[in-house]
Structure 1
Amino acid sequence: MLNVEDLPKNLKMIIAYEGTAYSGFQIQKNGPTVQAELKAVIEHITGETVDLQGAGRTDAGVHARGQVVHFHTHSNLSVEKLKKALNSLLPADIVVRNICEVSMDFHARHSAVSKTYSYCLYNSEERPLFERNYVYHYKAVLNITKMKEAVPFLLGKKDFKSFQAKGSAVLTTIRVVNFCHLELKGSLIVFTINANGFLYHMVRNIIGTLILIGREKINPSEMEQIIMGKDRAMAGETAPAMGLCLEEVLY
């Protein structure tokens, strides 16, 4: 009879990282990645080869406060000791915030119901210093009122093909945006959006379009026309990666 202690455990971890030095979350042949760093340290501590799965494949330069990963392990280390060991060995730009045991059928990506991202624009002639790796510095004056007027057009179940990067292959470009809002904090413009899924570069392309509206190049109501047009050429340019952050994954 198999001993209960011989059965694997499924561990869910919430991690945060600064994406500046990485070629993205997912392991790649060329360039450092968050997944590779985390996997290597887990395997060093447990002495096992693990299949580490993440909730989202953030791009190079994109940050996370609430990325979720999971892996199976036979290690008898408590989650408290494992967390302490991981944080003592991981690079300074990756932190494990929480570890808990979950059911064996839990999957960081497939079990997710929605994700929340934020994007930060630093709207000032003066360049940011301490925030420079976490914001997109945009010097030209933006009309925040008009940008806010455009945001509600993003809500609901819609085809967001206009905001999908060219060359992306997905079964459907329809997504459900549960909430989104734009707020001004001094020189910082923060856009927050939650949806059941995101297309490649979707948030960054929405930001590029909001910038066009903020510059008064197009009217706020044209956001609806851009969505209905299902044409990438109608939307704004792709905003840089450094302003984007994966805030939370909901299950």
Structure 2
Amino acid sequence: MRVALGVEYFGAPFRGWQSQADGGTVQDALESALARIAGTPVSTLCAGRTDAGVHATRQVVHFDVPVDRPLSAWVRGVNAHLPEGVTVLWAQPVGEDFHARFSARGRRYRYLLLNRPQRPGLWQGRVGWFHGELDLQQMQEACGRLLGEHDFSAFRAAGCQARSPIKTLREAQVRQVGSLFVFDFEATAFLHHMVRNLVGTLVYIGKGAQTPGWIDELLQMRDRRLAAPTFSPDGLYFRGPIYEPCWGLPEAADDPIDAMLP
């Protein structure tokens, strides 16, 4: 049978999502816990791989197992064997035609940026940080220039394995909540480091080093070397994939990072 899971995790202690030979990733921890319940090795596939230090409020995975277990076993049972910082939120049986990655029609990310002279204390590992003043209006104008279908090569990591740099950005916005700048992005798919590179570029614009029109130049030049440096992973949250209702997966609950905002 095929089972889908909703998973949230705090990425700071982990070496990213994808399994590695010497362990230390979210996938390693989850598959180990699943195997304890299944009584057999379990391989998972996720909706979107995250880098070291990146968090997720609604990662979705699926796996196939030859055994039948109550859904509570895939939630409470698995959680009993997971390390701190990783939690299964729900489990749902799905048809064999469901694929956590390929069935998704979009993905969402949020970046939280603390903007104050002092570095994070209480929020260390959960927010990015910039100490200088930022111009919200300039960054908002720049966000508007990112919308639509573009070649995002200027915001693509050198090791990105995506077949095409052309993606459709459906949402790109930034708002200010006290000392936090909240960046939200939604796209059909994202390139490796794309969100962190976008945030870095928007911060350059916000601090006055570039104008919003710089976005147009970068999209046209398609050269990663011309854009801003990759921003810290600390403030990046994968908010989950978007699926058609026909799959019957649970609706996203209230996002816990909304409750974190002042």
Question: Normalising by structure 2, what TM-score?
Answer: 0.90
- The equivalences for 1:1-251 within 5 A come to 9-251=1-243
SS of 1:90's partner is coil
Instruction: Report the secondary structure of 2:231's partner residue.
Output: coil
| Matched AA of 2:52 | A
Distance in 2 separating the partners of 1:141 and 1:121? 12
Partners of 1:11 and 1:58 lie apart in 2 by 21
Unmatched segments (≥5 aa) in structure 2? 244-262
Quick one: distance in 1 between partners of 2:100 and 2:205? 36
Distance (Å, rounded) in 2 between the aligned partners of 1:224 and 1:161? 13
For the residues of structure 2 that align with 1:215 and 1:196, how far apart are their CA atoms?
29
Segments of structure 1 that go 5 or more residues without pairing to the other structure are 1-8
Q: Deviations over 1:135-166 (max 9, x none)?
A: 11111111111111100111111110010012
Could you list the per-position Cα deviations for residues 7-44 of structure 1 after superposition, in whole angstroms to 9, with x for gaps in the alignment?
xx110001000110111100012340000000001001
**Aligned-residue CA RMSD in angstroms?**
1.2
Whether contact under 8 Å (1:11, 1:70) holds in the other structure is yes
Give deviations 1:105-134, integer Å, cap 9, x for gaps. 111112111110111110001222221111
Matched position secondary structure for 1:228: helix
TM-score (norm 1): 0.94
Q: Which has the larger displacement, 29-38 or 115-124?
A: 29-38
Distance 2:23 2:43 in 1: 20
Larger radius of gyration: 1
Secondary structure in 2 matching 1:89? coil
What letter is aligned with 1:237?
Answer: P
Q: How many residue pairs were aligned?
A: 243
